[in-house]
Every structure is written in C-alpha cells, then in structure tokens.
C-alpha cells in the first residue's frame, strides 16, 4: 500500500494547480507548485506575525547592520601590546 505504485488507471492531481501528476510521481505537488505553495505559506505566516505584533503595540523594524569598526592604534604603553623579552 505505502510506497507502492497506484492501481492501474488511477490518476493523482497536483494540490497546487490541479493538473494531473505523472503516473510515476508519488508527490502531492509539481516541483514548481511546491515552491509556490511554500512561498505563499511563508508570506501568510509573516503577515499574520506582523499583525499579531502590531496588535500588541510593538513594531517590527529592521535594525541596520553595524559597520565594521576599525581597530584603534595601540599605544606602546597599553597592556595588550606584548613586548619581546
């Protein structure tokens, strides 16, 4: 039953577009329909999360990346400078 081929003459249809799946395909979606479905569900999940956060009074905002700081020059008397003895 599980993992075996479908009975002869049985056709399965894609859950995304509704078109027939190939007879040797055991998936529920065409590969491109699966990607579109994942994208749609991700957008919906993000939208719901955004609404939930806005309802709580907090706002999502992008925090800009911190720029890489340049190292400050070391002075000869600083403790992190090791002297060769």
d(CA 36, CA 18): 14
pLDDT value of position 1: 44
Instruction: Kindly report, residue by residue over 19-42, the tens digit of the pLDDT.
Output: 999 888 888 999 999 999 999 999
pLDDT value of position 43: 96
The domain segmentation of the chain, as residue ranges, is 1-56
- pTM, rounded to two decimals: 0.51
pLDDT value of position 4: 61
What residues have CB less than 8 Å from 23, skipping those under 6 apart? 6, 11
What residues have CB less than 8 Å from 71, skipping those under 6 apart? none
């Amino acid at each position: 039953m599980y993992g075996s081929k479908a009975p002869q003459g049985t056709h399965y249809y894609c859950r995304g577009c509704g078109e027939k799946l190939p007879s040797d395909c055991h998936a529920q979606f065409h590969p491109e329909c699966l990607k579109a479905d994942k994208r749609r569900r991700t957008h919906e999940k993000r939208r719901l999360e955004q609404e939930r956060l806005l309802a709580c009074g907090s706002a999502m905002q992008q925090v800009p990346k911190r720029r890489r700081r340049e190292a400050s020059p070391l002075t000869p008397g600083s403790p992190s400078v090791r002297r060769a003895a």
